[in-house]
Amino acid sequence: MRRPMRVVILGAEGQLGSEFREFLQVGGDCYAFSRRELDVTDGEKVVAVLADIRPEVILNCAAYTGVDRAEKEQEWCYRVNTLGARNAAHASYRVGAKIVYFSTDYVFDGQKTTPYTEFDVPHPLSTYGCSKLWGEHYTRSCNPNHLILRTSWLYGKRGHNFIKTILRLVKEKRALRVVDDQRGAPTWTRDLVRQTLLLLEKDRVGLYHCADLGETTWFRLAQAVCVGLGFEVEVTPITTEEYGAPARRPGYSVLENYCLGMEGLNLMRPWQDALREFLRENQEALRCG
């Protein structure tokens, strides 16, 4: 990303926001706000704070990500993912900044059997997916200088994610029964950060899919994590119906980075390579944490 650029990170203590915060080395022209410090649901405060900083770019990493919990907490999910996105986009427009909004593969219903591109029509199945899709709409309508980046099956060293859940179950010596009929692309937060910064450097706008390459199932991902960390545990494949989650999920939600590819900007790599590096770098913390 060209320097200097004044950047604000919203949701800076979450899984993705903390990755941006670490990468950009907060200080100088980078301002990072946790939810406690700046809640995106407080529109007036968001406008006031950003008007004082006058950033060039706002990274809206604030998100409600409890897919199942959202079915009972619909209002709070929409407050953060939809109205929060509107507040951030409106404030960014007021101060003349680019807004970056991070969305999800769960805006699709999974009826396809080939990867979804930016030109496929969304049809979310869950409250979470619907809230993120409306967050996209508000971001787009409130500020023409926007980047909307859809990603999938995100994981990193901070925050809550599937990999950490699997490792917690392993340490609790609980049986691992993992869904094997949902397909997607695991994506490391570091890869998404690098891709985002390249798009900012190139001053791109619009919608992009940004997921690591290839596809797998949650069951196969759980196996890869256990093998990668040297855990000898049995992982049993089950169906979505057997798992019985409150929220409906797409059976197939693989994203194709179609626009990145057309523009020669695709930095994303095979998910296996990213996972291998992530596990190697964080092996001690993951095994002992």
pLDDT at position 216:
98
Question: CB burial class (10 A; 0-12, 13-18, 19+) of residue 257?
Answer: buried
**260 CB contacts (<8 Å, ≥6 apart)?**
195, 208, 209, 210, 266, 267, 268
What predicted TM-score, i.e. pTM, was given to this entire model?
Answer: 0.95
Active site residues: 128
Helices 43-53 and 84-95: crossing angle in degrees, nearest 10, is 30
Residue with the larger pLDDT of the pair 277 and 2: 277
DSSP-derived 3-state class of residue 4: coil
Report the percent of the chain where pLDDT is more than 90. 87
**pLDDT at position 141:** 98
Task: Provide the pLDDT for residue 224.
Answer: 96
pLDDT given for residue 124 in this prediction? 98
**Is pLDDT at 143 greater than 70 in this prediction?**
yes
Check whether 193 has a pLDDT greater than 60. Answer: yes
Mean pLDDT (whole number) for 219-223: 96
Nearest CA to 70 out of 9, 149, 135, 8 is that of 135
Mean pLDDT, rounded, for 61-89: 97
- Check whether 187 has a pLDDT greater than 70: yes
Residues 6+ apart with CB under 8 A from 224: 216, 272, 275
What one-letter code names the amino acid at 232?
E
Planar angle of CA 219, 177, 186, nearest 5 degrees: 25
pLDDT band at 1 (very low <50, low <70, confident <90, very high): very low
Hey, which residues does 164 pair with through a beta bridge? none
Would you list the domain boundaries of the chain?
A: 7-161+187-215+254-271
Q: What is the mean pLDDT of residues 2-8?
A: 75
Helices 271-281 and 189-201, packing angle to 10 deg: 110
Residue 271: which of 190, 150, 169 has the closest Cα?
A: 190
Q: Quick: pLDDT tens for 13-50.
A: 999 999 999 999 766 689 999 999 999 999 999 999 99
CATH number for the region 7-161+187-215+254-271 comes to 3.40.50.720
Residue range 45-58: mean pLDDT, rounded: 96
Residue 33 parent element (H or E): strand 30-33
Please choose, from the candidates 183, 122, 123, 142, the residue with its C-alpha nearest in 3D space to the C-alpha of residue 58: 142
Non-local CB neighbours of 230 within 8 Å, separated by 6+ positions: 287
Which range among 46-50, 168-172, 273-277 shows the weakest confidence by mean pLDDT? 168-172
Residue 28: the pLDDT is: 63
Cα–Cα distance for residue pair 164/286, rounded to 1 Å: 8
* Mean pLDDT estimate for the chain: 94
pLDDT score at 173: 77
Determine the straight-line distance between the first and last CA of the chain, rounded to whole angstroms: 33
The pLDDT confidence band at residue 285, using thresholds 50, 70 and 90, is confident
